[in-house]
Amino acid sequence: MSKMKHGFFLLTIVIAGMAMSNSYHLQLLTFIGINTLLALGLNMLMGYAGQISLGHAAFYGLGAYTSAVLSATMNWSPWLALFAAIVLTTLVAFLVALPMLKLSGYYLGMGTLGFGMIVFILIRQWSTVTGGDSGLVGIPALSLGPLSLASGKAYFYLVWAVVLMCFVICERVVDSRVGRALRAIHDGEHVAAAMGIDTSRLKVGVFVLSAVFAALAGFLYAHLVSFISPNSFDFLVSVRIVTMVVIGGMASIWGSLLGASLLTLLPEWLHVFTDYEMVVYGLILMTIMIFLPQGLTRGLLDLYEQSRTIYRRPATSQEPTANR
Amino acid sequence: MNSSEPITGTPQPLLRVKSVGKSFGGIQALCNVTFEVAPETIHAVIGPNGAGKTTLFNVITGAYEPEDGQIVYENREIQGKKVHEVVAQGIARTFQNVELFGSMTVLENVLVGRHVRMHCGFLGAIGRWPRVRNEEREARDYAWELLEFVGLEKMAHHRSADLPFGWQRFLEIARALATQPRLLLLDEPASGLNAVETQQLGDLLLQIRSRGITLLLVEHDMDLTMGISDRIVVLHQGRRLAEGTPREIQCNDAVICAYLGSDEDMRGLS
Ligand SMILES: Nc1ncnc2c1ncn2[C@@H]1O[C@H](COP(=O)(O)OP(=O)(O)OP(=O)(O)O)[C@@H](O)[C@H]1O
Ligand SMILES: [Mg+2]
């Protein structure tokens, strides 16, 4: 079942890659892939474990800047730089998560928000290394041995191969001891603990996982555009990632793809959008929360199923044998 | 019969509650509570509403730290340990108001109970190497067996929140059993059950005891409690009022008085 889904996914990527000749479209699809990674990571944290992060752009930036600085300024191989970026992100996420995940609800939101701002300010102010507001140029293109990934098409395949890999990773995590424990924490943290789940440890774990996904996305972004500046990693970006998850649906791996696609394409299609981006995200978030709290994917599926069952005879349901 | 010394001739107690005290603000929920639970017995804790029964469970399982006294389990002091560590040591519980993982299936709920006896972490989940797969397969077999044991195997793939209430109680027991406890704490497992289900529950609890698991049972249904318990401790306003066999408790004046003073159901107590 899931093999078939992945095969179909792979086929779609290959066909899209072959059919696509317009480099603008290819780049758009590549961006969708990168945003999908961001949404996927945050969805593991928000959708499955039920913990919010309003500072995920920080890890996105951490991945992008670590790799960019190491490869552009210090001439490291980008792949080595990627490795360093992942190690650093893991470390930072771990240190941030330890005190932070003791918080919950609003406080966790505020805490991660603050963390995102600190990283953003660091990137802007530490100009000797990061280039500050004027950004960092000359980030090398990627290559795999003799194979150059500089072309739009090659990069498109690379990004989507990574997305597919991360899909598989998420599906495996969700369908495991760890994934069940995460969902249990979401359903009731103290009950989860009473079943023997070390809740703080798992929350730290999933926070690190989602941060690493964001760093990976940052790496892919930096080497795609070859120039990065702090604005690509500000608060608005964190909100955008949250919006992608909410639109696609919490705890829906494939929903992340939908959320990322919509939020990548909408600003391209509606240019007015760019001036009022924050307002539009706010509106989207509110509308979805009120009308489709399960997200667009689940919401549409539910609507579909409702419309089907209306025409069917009501099934004889088992009556509860006792009242509460 | 108000005796606190252990019955002679019985083996080492599995659990010892030693002069435990716990208060919430001004309310003394538990005060100097002492009793022992012998292995492989059903030990009931009864008392009127607000007597401190649930608080006692929360103290034993590590959800609350007692202000005074010790909880000794298998000769080790466990008060102050984290909740999940206590489970790993072999103490499992159910809740007074059924607390299942509502978004998960019946089978998944039991599998969560199995968590503490498994090892797979994030890397194992991603890698799915043979050890992880074996572990997962064993856990599923174990969970299926438990579902059959409580009679819920046909509902395995239903969302737990969709089960009739009575079945949710049985599922909660199966989930607790999945942690492979030596001591199982049940907080009013019969409340909300109909007569037939209560009968089934009684049989189930006896079967659990015969599997070598010790039960600590908080229950208001006196027919059930008197019928299956080996020993009973009575709490009243946070204090131990009496302890003894069901027969002894039934004719204890202090107990009858305490129950008369409250608007509790007196069924089976006279
Ligand atoms: N978390 C808490 N905060 C404040 N007071 C509490 C808390 N938990 C329990 N209490 C108080 O402690 C006392 C004992 O409560 P507990 O829930 O242990 O009683 P119980 O014997 O389980 O009663 P019931 O039969 O109604 O379940 C009550 O007065 C209750 O109000
Ligand atoms: Mg209670």
User: Can you give the residue ranges of every domain in chain A?
Assistant: 2-234
A127 in Cβ contact with A133 (< 8 Å): yes
Give the model confidence (pLDDT) of A272-306 as tens digits: 666 777 777 778 777 777 777 666 666 666 777 67
Tell me what pLDDT residue B259 has: 75
Dihedral angle of Cα B255, B258, B264, B267, to the nearest 10 degrees? 30
Tell me what pLDDT residue A317 has: 42
- Nearest Cα residue to A296 out of A245, A232, A227: A245
pTM of the model: 0.88
Ligand nearest to the CA of B50: 1
Q: Which two tokens stand for residue A51?
A: 């913990």
More confident call, A318 vs A246: A246
Q: Do A176 and B125 touch (CB under 8 A)?
A: yes
Alpha-helix runs per DSSP H in chain A: 2-19, 23-43, 56-68, 78-100, 105-125, 127-130, 152-174, 177-187, 189-194, 199-225, 235-248, 253-269, 277-291, 295-310
Average pLDDT in the A122-133 region?
Answer: 89
Which residue has the least CA distance to atom 8 on ligand 1? B55
Kindly identify which residue of chain B lies nearest to residue A187, measuring between CA atoms.
B101
Evaluate the CA torsion angle A126, A132, A133, A136 in order and state its sign.
Answer: negative
Evaluate the CA torsion angle B83, B86, B92, B93 in order and state its sign.
Answer: negative
Kindly identify which residue of chain A lies nearest to residue B117, measuring between CA atoms.
A196
Find the angle CA(A138)-CA(A269)-CA(A63) to the nearest 5 degrees.
35
Q: Please tell me if the CB atom of residue B50 comes closer than 6 angstroms to any atom of ligand 1.
A: yes
Give the model confidence (pLDDT) of A146-157 as tens digits: 888 888 888 999
The phi, psi pair for B156, rounded to 5°, reads: -50, -40
From chain B, pick out residues whose CB is under 8 angstroms from the CB of A322. Answer: 164-166, 192-194, 197
- Nearest Cα residue to A172 out of B242, B2, B136: B136
Q: Do A196 and B87 touch (CB under 8 A)?
A: yes
Q: Please tell me if the CB atom of residue B24 comes closer than 6 angstroms to any atom of ligand 1.
A: yes
Q: Out of B82, B121, B126, name the one closest to residue A172 (CB).
A: B126
Confidence band for A263, pLDDT divided at 50, 70 and 90: confident
The whole-angstrom separation of Cα A191 and Cα B101 is 8
More confident call, B74 vs A268: B74
Confidence band for A323, pLDDT divided at 50, 70 and 90: very low
Tell me what pLDDT residue B153 has: 92
Which residue has the least CA distance to atom 18 on ligand 1? B52
* B247 CA: distance to closest CA in chain A (Å): 30
The whole-angstrom separation of Cα A206 and Cα A215 is 14
Which helix (H) or strand (E) segment holds residue A73: the answer is none
Tell me what pLDDT residue A279 has: 78
Q: Do A188 and B99 touch (CB under 8 A)?
A: yes
Question: What's the Cα-to-Cα distance from B172 to each of A318, B40, B112, rounded to whole Å?
Answer: 19, 20, 11
